[in-house]
Amino acid sequence: MNISIAVIHDLYPLYEAGEVSADSRALIEEYLAEHPGALPSPSPALSLPAIDAPPDLEARALKRTTRLLEQRGLDGAAALTLSYVPVASGFFQQGKLHLLYQEHPLVSLFFYAAAVVMWVRFFVACRRVQVAGLRPPRSWSRRVLWILVGQMIGFAICAPIQVWTGWGNAMYFVPLIPFAVALWAGEWLDQIPKVDALTRPTTIFGPQDDDGWD
C-alpha cells in the first residue's frame, strides 16, 4: 500500500499520544522502519524577548498592598461606627435619655444607609485582598472576631427595627442574619479560616498545610 508522507505527518501526533488504532500504529511503524528519515521535524521553540522588570516593582507592590490593607481597616471601622450611631447617640431631655433612632428615625436611616455603603466598600476591599493572594492567620480568634462583629451589628439594628415595626421578636431573629452573612462572607472572601483548616493536625514543625496558610 502506497502511503504519502503527508498522511504519516498527520497521524504521527495521534501516534505519539497513543490515540490511534492498532492497525494505524502498525502501519506508521512499518512506514517509519522503511523510511527512517520520514519523522516529522519538531516545531521550533518559540523564543520570547527578555523583559526587564522595573527596579522599584517590589516597592510599588508593597506600597499598593499596604494601602489596600489600610483601606480595608478604615472602611470596616467606619462601617461599624456608622452602624452604631443611631443606637449609641442621643440627648437628655427632662432627665430622660432620648436615643437617635427613637426621636429622629429619618436621620437614623441616613446613618444606616451610609453604613451599608461602607460595608460594601469593606467587602470590595476584602475581595481585592483575596485576589492579591493574602490570607489570614490560621487561628480561631480571627474567626470568632468576625462572628462577634456580625452579632454586634445584629444587636445594633434589632432595637430600631423592633421600635419602628412593632415586631416583638426582632431581638431574637434579627441578629442571626448579620451573623450568618458575616460567617459566609468571611469564608467566601478568605478573610477567616474555615473550620476544616482550623482542625487540621499540627506537628512539632507547625500546621500541615497544603494551601500556604500559616
Q: What one-character-per-residue DSSP string does 78-142 give?
A: HHHHHHHHHHH-EEEETTEEEEHHHH-HHHHHHHHHHHHHHHHHHHHHHHHHHHTT----S-HHH
Q: Is the pLDDT of residue 36 over 90?
A: no
Question: What secondary structure does DSSP assign to 150-182, as a single string?
Answer: HHHHHHHHHHHHHHHH--TTHHHHTTHHHHHHH
Reading the block at residue 21, the C-alpha cell is: 488504532
Backbone angles phi, psi at 206, to 5 degrees: 115, 180
Q: Is the pLDDT of residue 19 over 80?
A: no
Residue with more model confidence, 173 or 118: 118
How many residues belong to the chain?
214
Q: Is the pLDDT of residue 206 over 60?
A: no
Q: Which of 7-16, 34-43, 60-69, 128-137 has the highest mean pLDDT?
A: 60-69
Percentage with pLDDT > 70 across the chain: 82
| Least-confidence region, from 85-94, 158-167, 184-193 | 85-94
**Residue 12, pLDDT score:** 75
**Residue 98, pLDDT score:** 75
Per-residue pLDDT averaged across 57-63, rounded?
A: 80
Cβ contact 182:149 at 8 Å: yes
DSSP helix/strand/coil, 51? coil
Cβ contact 134:196 at 8 Å: no
- Band (pLDDT 50/70/90 cuts) for residue 214 is very low
Per-residue pLDDT averaged across 114-124, rounded?
A: 93
Per-residue pLDDT averaged across 12-35, rounded?
A: 77
Residue with more model confidence, 210 or 119: 119
pLDDT in tens, 157-177: 888 888 888 888 888 888 888
Q: Is the pLDDT of residue 183 over 60?
A: yes
Rounded to two decimals, what is the model's pTM?
0.62
**Residue 200, pLDDT score:** 65
